[in-house]
Amino acid sequence: MKENNLTILSKVLLVIVGLLFIGSLFVPMWRIELDAPQYPEGLMLQLHANKIGGDVDIINGLNHYIGMATLHTENFFEFTVLPYVFGTFAFISLILVFINNRKAVFGFLITFVLFVILAGIDFYRWNYEYGHNLDPNAAIKVPGMAYQPPLIGYKQLLNFGAYSIPDIGGWMLTCAGILLFVVVLKEFKFKKSI
């Protein structure tokens, strides 16, 4: 076996990574949960790779009162691009099995990490614009108040508690990233020479 070739275990893990990318296309990737006394069952906004789901109409109705723009899938180019990005990542994961080169896997891991960083920056920008660019003629105005949900974690927004957390697809992508890291670590650290 050539020194730069992948082990059988690494190839199996790459196939699993590809399946995780494919699977993430069919389930919600991220969720923002809103809890308030008037909504004891809570409200949820779910972000899929290709659409916004959950209680969008109710949340849009509430956002109208504080001057936030309404949320519509077609207003975000990301929902057009993401299915192709994850489809491409799945394809690359499977192709890497046949390319059989650990340096190519390392390059793919770096690409995925850069994508995650860019996606996080984009999501923050998205939340910032919606939480800060408010209609000055809104029915409810609280001086100095912005309604930007947290990037991840919890934040109090007036009488709503907002939780921003990964959903099933987000955990699948996290697992894909961890498995890619494991493959790279295994292939580079546990072989005698690079």
5-61 tens-digit pLDDT: 899 999 999 999 999 999 999 999 999 999 988 888 999 999 999 999 999 999 888
194 — pLDDT class (breaks 50, 70, 90): very low
CA–CA separation, 159 vs 132, rounded Å?
17
Contact 58, 38 (CB under 8 A): no
Q: Which of 124, 162, 160, 166 shows the shortest CA–CA distance to 30? A: 166
Structure tokens at 51: 């659409």
- Indicate whether 180 belongs to any domain: yes
Q: Which helix (H) or strand (E) holds 32?
A: strand 30-36
**pLDDT for residue 1:** 46
- Indicate whether 48 belongs to any domain: yes
- Indicate whether 61 belongs to any domain: yes
78 — pLDDT class (breaks 50, 70, 90): very high
- Indicate whether 2 belongs to any domain: no
* Average pLDDT for 149-166: 90
- Indicate whether 152 belongs to any domain: yes
Q: Is residue 107 over pLDDT 90?
A: yes
| Mean pLDDT rounded to a whole number for the chain | 90
134 lies in which domain range?
A: 8-186
The total number of structural domains in the chain stands at 1
Beta bridge partners, 47, equal: 30, 52
**pLDDT for residue 117:** 96
- Indicate whether 69 belongs to any domain: yes
Contact 4, 101 (CB under 8 A): yes
Which pTM does this prediction carry? 0.87
- Indicate whether 106 belongs to any domain: yes
* Average pLDDT for 128-148: 81
**pLDDT for residue 149:** 86
Structure tokens at 34: 């809103």
Q: Which of 168, 185, 178, 125 shows the shortest CA–CA distance to 29? A: 168
- Indicate whether 98 belongs to any domain: yes
CA–CA separation, 147 vs 117, rounded Å?
23
For the chain, give the number of residues.
Answer: 194
Contacts of 85 (CB under 8 A, 6+ apart): 115
**pLDDT for residue 176:** 97
Reduce the DSSP state of residue 146 to 3 states and report it: coil
* Average pLDDT for 117-133: 90
* Average pLDDT for 139-155: 83
